[in-house]
């Protein structure tokens, strides 16, 4: 993995959402692994993080033959969610320790979690702090909805989400987390933001972050764009200096994901 001229190494993460149980997940990874691993050998390649459903993590890990969660191959695994408690009577939930046995990373506060499962900035913040305490890299998602976008409220919403979802980090934690700017109107719609729109909001996120944690943390924190990223538009996003990679949904379920990885590196700043 090569650091970009910003000093921030790019990340391409694939959020499979509720797709591919263990059998299908293993089959898909067997199919893409040779070309994906080869693509990741090239200089300037991003870190690639696959985020299958929790029930498929072990199957994917077995195919990738990852020796242990602590080692850093160029393909890492992430969970799509977790709870903040250590253990106990929380039916259906995963604890940070459980996630850490198989993953380096966890996506938190995805808009689908916020919309369908009532997750608030406060809950996302608790989960973020718990992930960090357990050595997991959180990818914390924020972004405005269509109505907020249309009515010019994006900057306001982003300010609220950054301050509440990312509160109370230590200076070291503030450097480690990853933020994903995912405008809800662009998720799964085929209507991606332009590179310019995404970069402007991401620059604002970096400024908010600087107000919270200082210039040094703001210059190293990685901020991804997510929302209808494809192999055709990834290069446009990567050409912008504040965008450090992508969180990819639908397009991470197909072999074309390998081209997203390839095209991300070609023009990475
Ligand atoms: C996502 O699920 O985080 C996402 C960005 O989805 P899609 O790429 O399908 O828009």
Distance 53 CA to ligand 1 centre (A): 14
182 is catalytic: yes
Given the residues 76, 176, 182, 236, the one annotated as active site: 182
More confident residue, 258 or 72: 258
CB of 64 shorter than 6 A to ligand 1: no
Distance 109 CA to ligand 1 centre (A): 13
Is the dihedral angle over the CA atoms 116, 119, 121, 127 positive or is it negative? negative
- Tell me the pLDDT band of 268, cut-offs 50, 70 and 90: very low
Tracing tokens 């914390």 back to the chain, one arrives at: 140
Q: Find out whether 146 and 184 touch, Cβ atoms under 8 Å.
A: yes
| Confidence at residue 69, expressed as pLDDT on a 0 to 100 scale | 52
38 is catalytic: no
pLDDT at position 2 over 50: no
Ligand 1 atom closest to the Cα of residue 192 is: 10
* Cα 122 from Cα 160, distance rounded (Å): 11
Residue 135 DSSP code:
T
Helices (H) and strands (E) in the chain, counts: 11, 8
Distance 248 CA to ligand 1 centre (A): 5
β-strands 47-51, 137-142 pairing? unpaired
Distance 229 CA to ligand 1 centre (A): 7
pLDDT tens digits for 51-76? 999 999 999 999 997 765 555 578 99
pLDDT at position 117 over 60: yes
| Confidence at residue 219, expressed as pLDDT on a 0 to 100 scale | 97
CB of 188 shorter than 6 A to ligand 1: yes
Given the residues 76, 100, 110, 149, the one annotated as active site: 110
The pTM for the full model equals 0.95
CB of 226 shorter than 6 A to ligand 1: yes
């Amino acid at each position: 993995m090569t650091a970009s001229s910003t000093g921030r190494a790019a990340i391409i993460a694939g959020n499979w959402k509720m797709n591919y149980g263990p059998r299908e997940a293993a089959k898909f990874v067997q199919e893409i692994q040779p070309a994906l691993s080869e693509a990741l050998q090239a200089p300037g390649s991003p870190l690639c993080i696959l985020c299958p459903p929790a029930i498929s993590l072990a199957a994917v890990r077995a195919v990738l033959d990852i020796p242990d969660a602590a080692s850093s191959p160029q393909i890492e695994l992430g969970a799509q969610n977790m709870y903040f408690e250590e253990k106990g009577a929380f039916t259906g939930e995963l604890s940070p320790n459980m996630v850490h046995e198989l993953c380096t990373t966890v996506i938190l506060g995805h808009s689908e979690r916020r919309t369908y499962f009532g997750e608030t900035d406060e809950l996302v913040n608790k989960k973020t702090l718990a992930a960090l305490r357990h050595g997991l890299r959180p990818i914390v998602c924020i972004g405005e909805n269509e109505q907020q976008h249309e009515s010019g409220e994006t900057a306001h919403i982003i300010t609220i989400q950054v301050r509440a979802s990312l509160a109370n980090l230590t200076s070291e934690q503030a450097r480690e987390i990853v933020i994903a700017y995912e405008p809800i109107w662009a998720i799964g719609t085929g209507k991606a933001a332009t590179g310019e729109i995404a970069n402007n909001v991401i620059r604002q996120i970096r400024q908010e972050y600087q107000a919270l944690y200082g210039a040094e943390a703001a210059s190293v924190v990685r901020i991804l764009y997510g929302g209808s990223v494809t192999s055709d538009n990834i290069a446009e996003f990567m050409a912008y200096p504040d965008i450090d990679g992508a969180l990819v949904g639908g397009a991470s379920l197909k072999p074309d994901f390998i081209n997203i990885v390839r095209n991300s590196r070609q023009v990475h700043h």
